[in-house]
Amino acid sequence: MTLTAKIEVNGTTVELPVVEGTEKELGIDISTLRGKTGAITMDWGYGNTGSAESGITFLDGELGILRYRGYPIEQLAESSNFLEVSYLLYHGELPTSAQLDVFKSKIVYHTLVHEDMRSFFNAFPKDAHPMAVLSSAVCALSTYYQQGDESTQEGLELSMFRLMGKLPTIAAWTYKKSLGHPYIYPDNDLNYCENFLKMMFSLPTENYVPHPDIAKALDVLLILHADHEQNCSTSTVRMVGSSKANLFASISAGIAALWGPLHGGANQAVLEMLEEVVASGKSTKDFINSVKDKDSSSRLMGFGHRVYKNFDPRAKIIKVFADRVLNLLGVDDPMLEVAKELEETALRDEYFVSRKLYPNVDFYSGIIYRALGIPVNFFTVMFAIGRLPGWIAHWKEMNAHPKNRIGRPRQIYTGETERDFIQLNDR
């Protein structure tokens, strides 16, 4: 049976088709509404607007479900690795062993950045925000690779391999620039996360061997961040890509969108909250009480989620690794102690439990990054590395869809009505 919806506007009734997804989601196709009635729909922040049909990620916020290409995030985090998940997101299926080997080798081949880009990094001030550098550097890659034809499978894959290979190098060099340390070149004998940790934390004067458990925790974090449906940055990548902008420019725009504190900066906000608690000298109990006080400006960051109305499924996974990393490193950090106390208190407090304000992935990821010695303003860069394969998969899917067209939202004009121009001397 074909589903339809009826809407009446100023006495005109129109029948609109209803689109049904494979998980029984329903969407009313209003693409003909304006033509038939002259009206548009209003949806601030697009919170109830579907902009695409996508086969990449399914999430159910009420039930706490997240799946990539149908595979539960819990299974992928336990049994897969980041590059295997990247292959899955891009190609739609899990790779064979041979396919994964080829995929990895092509990414490894592209880990070096053009040597001229050393001057690019040197041009930024030492205290430049790393997300500004990351976005700029990714966009600049398009000036080095102008010959690629991304309308072909081969051309798009080449851009994908270049981005997957080079983004960790660009990120690590951004960090080294901020410290005044020499840039560390990739070590292609290491796996993806081990190589990144070495570029971040090693020095030419000493031998650095990434701990496998630390690399595994980072790998899981990247998997958990790899995609999350039509969020702000993914929608930005799609919007920019819909104009036929190249993949580098589209990803650069996605990085800029991710930078915002309401999106990728959420885990940074968690650490800033913890810093404030420690600096204030308040007990955890006093801070929790101030959060519950409606007249207080205190906010409990890293709890609850705009989409998940239940426990964030990613948080359950990463909590295990957060505990493991803290025990492994034996970090003595008052901020991390406060984080543990806040977690334990909020999970028992009826005020938060009744409102389903559980710790989300940003709460635990910030704790892990802090323990690893990654600076707070670099947290969103880590998020960007993880989200990269999801962005690329969406760019590819959008441009291959037969209904694809340039993104162009409508508006309701609320400005002045027509009026006559007044000459300058008469104003």
Smallest Cα–Cα separation from 224: which of 397, 50, 57? 57
CA 179 to chain centroid, in Å, comes to 25
Residue 113: predicted pLDDT = 95
Residue 316: predicted pLDDT = 84
Domain 4-60 shares a fold with domain 266-372: no
Summarised one tens digit per residue, pLDDT across range 103-146 is: 999 999 999 999 999 999 989 998 999 999 999 999 999 999 98
Superfamily for the 71-259 domain: Citrate Synthase, domain 1 (1.10.580.10)
Extract the residue ranges of the chain whose pLDDT is less than 50.
none
Residue 139: predicted pLDDT = 96
What amino acid positions are annotated as catalytic residues? 305, 362
Query: Among positive and negative, which fits the CA dihedral 168, 173, 178, 180?
Result: positive
Pick the CATH number of 4-60 from 2.40.160, 3.30.70, 2.20.28, 3.90.320: 2.20.28
266-372: which CATH architecture? Orthogonal Bundle (1.10)
Domain boundaries along the sequence of the chain? 4-60, 71-259, 266-372
Residue 1: predicted pLDDT = 67
Look up the pTM and report it: 0.91
